[in-house]
Amino acid sequence: MTRLSPRARWLAAGLALALAAALAAEHRLLERAREAHARLAAQRTAVVGVRALAEVVSRAGGQGDEVRRAVERFAAAQGELAPIRVVDFNARSLEASTAPADQGEQAAPRRLVREEKDLYDQAQRLRAAVETNRQEGVSRKDEVEIERTAGGGFRIAAPVEPAGEVTGAVIAERPPPAAPPAAGWGGALLALLAAVGLFAALAWLLGDRPAALAAAAVVLLAAAALGYAAVSLGGLAADRMAMEEAVAGRLASTARLAESVLGDASFDAAAWDADVYRRGLGFVAADGTIDAAAVTADLGRTRTRLWRAAAGVTAAALALLLFVGLGGAGRLAVTVVRHRVAYAYVLPAIVAMVVLVFFPFAYGIALSFTESTLYNESQGLWEKWIGVDNYADILSDVAVVKQAEQGSTYDYENFYWTLGFTVVWTVVNVAFGVTLGLFLALLLNRQGLALRPVYRVLLILPWAVPNYITALVWKGMFHQQFGVVNQIVQMLGLAPVAWFEHPFTSFLAIWATNGWLSFPFMMVISLGALQSIPGDLYEAAEVDGASRWQQFRSITLPSLKPALVPAVIISVIWTFNMFNIPYLTSGGEPAGATEILITGAYKIAFQKYQYGYAAAYATIIFLILLAYGTWQNRVTRATEAVG
Amino acid sequence: MSIKKTLKNLNALATLAVAAALVAPASAAAKTELVLWTSYRGAERTALEKVVQAYNAANADVRVNVLAVPHDAFADKITAAVPRGKGPDLFIYAQDRLGGWIEAGNTIEPLDFFLDDETTGRFLPTTLDAMTYQGTIYGLPLNYKVLTLIYNKAIIQEPPKTSQELVAIAKKHTDVAAGRYGLVYWYSDFYVHSGLMNAFGGGVFDGDRNPTLDRAANVRSMDLLLKWINDDKILPAEPSTALITALFNGGKAAMIFNGPWFLGEISDDVDFGLALLPKIDEAGGAPMKPWATIEGIYVSATSQHKDAAFDFIDYLTAAPQARTLALEGRQTPANRQAYDDPAVKKDPVLAAFSRQFENAVPMPNLPEMSMFWSPATTAMNLIVKGSASPSAALKEAQEKVLRDVQRLRGSGG
């Protein structure tokens, strides 16, 4: 081993580390898959019991002694369902209960007490869910609620529907299922030792040939990680069949129980094994036969998902291997140790950036590829993945001008209308801010101006007031009856204007507001730059007989450029994303005509509740600004080079 | 060693004493503190605070604190704060955001369990409908706002009862050259148009929550509006709220359709009267039924004191308190027993709005409602300007709404 070169040693270390990490991750993955299986088996058998009971209770009319007898029979036969409660919300009663607290004085039937409001609400929620799904013709609300309890068990609630109308619920708890026997570490350890050992042997055989060694390490890692995954996924099928058999057994026994309670068998037991929308899963028939094809197909999907995860883990491990094996980790470690103080100082900032900026950013991008809405918020992102549909939807709708039978009309909610409006808004505002700011700065910069500090403070004041306050104040000023603007308009003998009822006047109103806010910044920047222009330049110009305009064009403007150009760049981005003014002042009125992109995205998310679509919208805004920033950068560099 | 131990014990004792001192005043005042958010201002706020003070004085163990939150930020604050347990215990808002908050979950507490027939029986049924989402009551109604017919008594002695009378009277008082109009209202606004729409049996959702903006009844209501504009010529072009105020205050509008918020804008020179919106002969004599906005009080789903919060809103919506809010806060109460009070009965404004409210429909509280406004406004503008026929414009708007609704609901599961 002493003959191993440092490079080979790094590769060996990298291989060991990356493979260990990959195997540990895959082991965890497998364990979780098995746990999920065990949980799902317990959940499905419990759901079968609860739904069977709900059906029996429904046939008994949802209340009465028959209900209590049925609950007793079920509690005796399916001991793990405890406690079982039956609630009728019309009568506000607890119809049956096997909870220890509900005996003697508290025995059912009785009225629900205030502490049991959650039972009542749950039953009502199931009724609303059933009705909503029926009305909308979609399955979006849980008709069977399955909650995890604190200890890892379940609480399952199924609706009671005596005559096609939900009147209550069967609510039962089930303790946590027994954990599956832990998978051993032997296989993983074997894979690790075999791969590292083989690599050592190869290193010894090949000698100092870095490329070959690196390739060997990569191949060994991939083979060991994927091989382990293949072997351990093999056990999945047996687990799955065991689950189906357990469900089939439960289904058959529950059907017999229900039949003996009801005295007939006019029910579809197979439908009890269903998802939260009460749609049958279709793996097990009522007589207990298992639909092997369906199970295999479903197992295939699970397997594909796990394979993908294993492939991802392997890819990450390969990256780690190359990072360590090619010396990157070593160099990084050296740098971190050498500059440890500096890293310690920036660590809080790094953490804050990751948590507050990079994570939300990545999440937003991911969200933009989904159809997330208010209604499916609780599902995982992956289940709602729709690819680039949102982007296609936004960008492909180019019908800004709609042709009606006579004349035409604008579609104010169209992306391109909003984009165009935002561009106009930005250009007009920045141009206005720069012109007015520069003009005022020139005035203030006159030599011998009396009370200059007072003027300066007064002119900076708009900037010092928080901009949402300014926005609300100006909104009030544009109020059509009480607003000061219309009072002045009326003093001039004109009719008052309904500012926010026409796109153009609405634009004027928000432009005035934002103009009021934006000129002080430009003024301060220009004033500072003006004061740094040496006075002798002007003296020399005067001696040469230059006019004031010539002095302004040839001395003042070029001298201001280094200060003004960055200010304009910043100002463009600020104005482009100036949320407060349009949102608070015009509110997008009329009909969204004065919405800018950022307020449009906000409204899609929080008024139309389409989160995925809004995320795509926001990503497009980001891309536009990115393109603008890149272009601006290039242009500025070009001007710098010339200057 | 033993001294050290004694010192240690003393130390512990001292710590305990300090802790006890800190806890003692708190436990002495073990009051349930309820925070109530409202965007009320002026008289409404004063009246509400008066009622709350009376409640605090009568209940030693509960204290309700009223916190004013600006209206513009109100709904967003509720959406952000309440599900995370940072919001108020109680809040007051109109029904239009109710569905969205319920679908988002963990925001508004269902109240059915607390309610008995006596409590629900005290409200005008329509107001309770507005607080109901998918069969469950989520709030107790406080007051409502509804459009009615406001007329200038100097011009009109007897307000019209039917649409034919309306057109006849309006024609008599219309002189376009002189800038006089018999009828002025913001007919291009979809909310205002709801009165006509509902008279024809129109609406925006069918019984199964599907959007139906282009249903035939809606088209017929637009046809009647177009007849009023183009054939009868009783309405001014391009109506705006500013124009309506100016014309009415200048004595140039005989009749307007407007709500209680307009009363404060009427100049003192105008002697106005309130009357029911007319019956529509073209709709078989059915009355105009404008949408009503109903304000309710809700208990936060994340409140720690839901029982106490419900007890308070039960008190707040009872008849004596409704009376105070009506007479001093100038609200039209949702509590019907309040109208038995002689002072409320005598009040011509409250009486007029409560009569109109018998012919009103609560504006839908489904979250999908927020998707209607922009397409419907666009359609209304097209229709009244004559750029598109009612059926074409409504069909176009319906497609837009349907697309948004489907995007919201998704395929589901």
Residue range A13-36, pLDDT digits in tens:
889 999 999 999 999 888 888 888
Contact predicate B317/B297, CB 8 Å: yes
Distance CA A445, CA A559 (A): 14
Residue A200 has pLDDT above 80, yes or no: yes
Question: With bands split at pLDDT 50, 70 and 90, how would you rate the model's confidence at A642?
Answer: very low
Q: Where is pLDDT greater, at A411 or B335?
A: B335
The answer to whether residues A153 and A81 touch, using CB atoms and an 8 Å cutoff, is no
Tokens (6 digits) for A233 = 């996924």
Q: Are A410 and A393 in contact (CB under 8 A)?
A: no
Point out the least confidently predicted range of A255-264, B23-32, B391-400.
Answer: B23-32
DSSP string covering A466-519 = -HHHHHHHHHHHT-TTT-HHHHHHHHTTPPP--GGGSHHHHHHHHHHHHHHHHH
Range B383-393 average pLDDT: 86
Average pLDDT, chain A: 87
Structure tokens belonging to residue B335 = 């509590």
Residue A589 has pLDDT above 80, yes or no: no
Closest-CA distance of chain B to residue A579, Å: 14
Which amino acid appears at position A216 of this protein?
A: A
- Report the percent of chain B where pLDDT is more than 70: 92
Q: Region A189-204: what's the mean pLDDT?
A: 90
Answer whether B241 sits within 8 Å of A480, measured CB to CB: yes
- Give the pLDDT confidence of B86-139 residue by residue, as tens digits: 999 999 999 999 998 998 888 999 999 999 988 999 999 999 999 999 999 999
Is residue B367 less than 8 Å (CB to CB) from chain A?
yes
Lateral strand order in the sheet of B181-184 = B181-184, B253-258, B148-152, B272-275
Length of chain A: 643
Enter the tokens of residue A603. 């409204």
CB contact under 8 A, A371 and B407: yes
Which among B100, B135, B389 has CB closest to A128? B135
Q: Which residue has the tokens 């900026």?
A: A357
d(CA A145, CA A156): 6
User: DSSP 3-state assignment of B108?
Assistant: strand
How far apart (Å, rounded) are the C-alpha atoms in residues B263 and B260?
6
Which region holds residue A84: left if phi is over 0, alpha if psi is between -120 and 50, else beta? beta
Query: Is B106 part of the contact surface with chain A (CB cutoff 8 Å)?
Result: no
**Distance from the B8 Cα atom to the nearest Cα atom in chain A, whole angstroms:** 39
Q: Report residue A213 as tokens.
A: 């060694």
A405 vs B113, B370, B392: nearest CB: B392
- Considering only A466-480, B209-223, B352-366, which range has the smallest mean pLDDT? A466-480
Question: Hey, are the CB atoms on B410 and A376 less than 8 Å from each other?
Answer: yes
Q: Is B32 on the interface with A (CB under 8 A)?
A: no
Which of B97, B302, B409 to mutate to test binding with chain A, by most A CBs within 10 Å of its CB?
B409
Confidence of residue A287 (pLDDT cuts 50, 70, 90): confident
Residues 6+ apart with CB under 8 A from A228: A23, A26, A187, A188, A191
Residue of A156, A98, A96 lying closest to A126 (CA atoms): A156
Write the CA distances from A324 to A15, A312, A331, integer angstroms: 8, 18, 9
Work out the average pLDDT over A321-328: 86
Residues A509/A513/A516/A521 CA torsion (nearest 10 deg): -130
Q: Would you state the pLDDT for residue A210?
A: 79
Contact A478, A585 (CB under 8 A): yes
Query: In whole angstroms, what is the distance from residue A217 CA to residue A11 CA?
Result: 7
If one compares B81 and A535, the residue with the highest pLDDT of the two is B81
Instruction: Check if the beta carbon of residue B224 is closer than 8 Å to that of residue B280.
Output: yes
- Give helix B216-226 / helix B390-409 axis angle, nearest 10°: 140
Closest CA to B65 of B38, B42, B36: B36
Which amino acid is present at B280? I
Rg (CA), chain A: 36
Q: What is the 3-state secondary structure (H, E, C) of A141-170?
A: CCCCEEEECCCCCEEEEEEECCCCCCCEEE
CB contact under 8 A, A139 and B412: yes
**Token digits for A379?**
């599902």
pLDDT at residue A238 in the model: 84
CA angle B254, B256, B259 (to 5 degrees): 145
Pairing state between β B253-258 and B181-184: parallel
Q: For residues A587 and A581, what is the distance between their CA atoms, to the nearest angstrom?
A: 9
Nearest to A364 by CA among A148, A21, A622: A622
Task: State phi, psi for B259 to the nearest 5 degrees.
Answer: -105, 180
* Whether the Cβ atoms of residue B281 and residue B163 lie closer than 8 Å to each other: yes
Cα A443 versus chain centre, distance: 51
- pLDDT given at position A239: 83
Task: Write the pLDDT tens digit of every residue in A23-75.
Answer: 999 998 888 888 888 888 889 999 999 999 999 999 988 888 889 999 999 99
pLDDT-derived band at A643 (thresholds 50, 70, 90) equals very low
On the question of pLDDT at B26 being above 70, the answer is no
What is the average per-residue pLDDT within B325-341? Answer: 92
The rounded percent of chain A whose pLDDT value lies above 90 is: 29
Distance (Å, rounded) from C-alpha A613 to C-alpha B406? 12
A243 vs A46: CA distance, rounded Å: 13
- DSSP annotation of B277: P
The pLDDT tens digits for B32-45 are 999 999 999 888 99
Residue A524 CB contacts under 8 Å (≥ 6 apart), including other chains? A437, A441, A460, A463
Distance from CA of A359 to the nearest CA of B (A): 20
- In B73-138, the DSSP E strands lie at 90-94, 132-133, 136-137
Are the C-beta atoms of A412 and A591 separated by less than 8 Å?
A: yes
Task: Report the alpha-carbon angle B64-B68-B71, nearest 5.
Answer: 135
pLDDT of residue B15: 52
Query: Would the CB atoms of A135 and B381 count as touching at under 8 Å?
Result: no
**Inter-chain contacts counted by CB atoms under 8 A, chains A and B:** 149
Residue in B with minimal Cα distance to A609: B408
- Taking only the tens place, the pLDDT of each residue in B289-314 is 999 999 999 999 999 999 999 999 99
pLDDT at A1 over 70: no
pLDDT score of A361 = 94
Chain B contact for A114, CB < 8 A?
Answer: yes
CA pseudo-torsion sign A485, A486, A491, A495 = positive
The answer on pLDDT for B2 being more than 70 is no
The rounded distance, in Å, linking the Cα atoms of A516 and A510 is 10
Residues of B in contact with A501 (CB under 8 A): 240-242
The predicted model scores a pTM of 0.79
Stretch (H or E) spanning B68: strand B62-68
pLDDT tier at B8 (50, 70, 90 boundaries)? low
Q: What angle do CA A129, A131, A137 make, to 5 degrees?
A: 95
Decide: residue A219, CB within 10 A, 0-12 exposed, 13-18 middle, 19+ buried: middle
CB atoms A377 and B104 under 8 Å: yes
Q: What is the pLDDT of residue B24?
A: 44
Pairing of strands A110-111, B132-133: unpaired
Residue pair B398/B219 in contact by the 8 Å Cβ criterion: no
How would residue B288 be classed by pLDDT, with cut points 50, 70 and 90?
very high
Beta strands in A179-229 (DSSP E): none
Three-state DSSP state, A132: helix
Neighbours of A172 (CB within 10 A): 28
List chain A residues with CB under 8 Å of B265: 481
A178 vs A86: which has the higher pLDDT = A86
B399 has pLDDT over 60 = yes
pLDDT of residue A346 exceeding 50:
yes
User: Which of B72, B133, B388 is nearest residue A404 as measured by Cβ atoms?
Assistant: B388
Where is A347: in which H helix or E strand? helix A340-353
CA distance A210 to A326: 9
Alpha-carbon distance A591 to nearest alpha carbon in chain B (angstroms): 5
Q: What is the largest CA-CA distance in chain B?
A: 108
CA-CA distance, A89 to B277, in Å (whole number)? Answer: 40
Q: Do residues B391 and B219 lie in contact, with contact meaning Cβ atoms separated by under 8 Å?
A: yes
How far apart, in whole angstroms, are the C-alpha atoms of residue A617 and residue A565?
A: 29
Look up residue B81 and give its two tokens.
């704060």
Q: How far is the alpha carbon of A419 from chain B, nearest alpha carbon, in Å?
A: 17
Which of A132, A135, A610 lies nearest to residue B408, judging by beta carbons?
A610
Whether residue A407 is predicted with pLDDT greater than 70 in this model: the reply is: no
Q: At residue B192, does pLDDT exceed 90?
A: yes
Given a contact cutoff of 8 angstroms between Cβ atoms, the answer to whether B148 and B257 are in contact is yes
Amino acid at B265: E
pLDDT digits (tens, 9 = 90+) for A251-263: 999 999 998 888 8
Query: If you average pLDDT over residues A336-356, what whole number do you get?
Result: 93
Instruction: Report pLDDT digits (tens) over A502-543.
Output: 888 889 999 999 988 888 888 888 888 888 888 888 888 888
Q: What is the pLDDT of residue A456?
A: 83
Residue labelled with tokens 């007319």: B278
Q: What pLDDT is attached to residue A3?
A: 61
CA B7/CA B9 separation, integer angstroms:
5
Among A117, A135, A406, the residue with its CB nearest the CB of B209 is: A135
% of chain A surpassing 70 pLDDT: 97
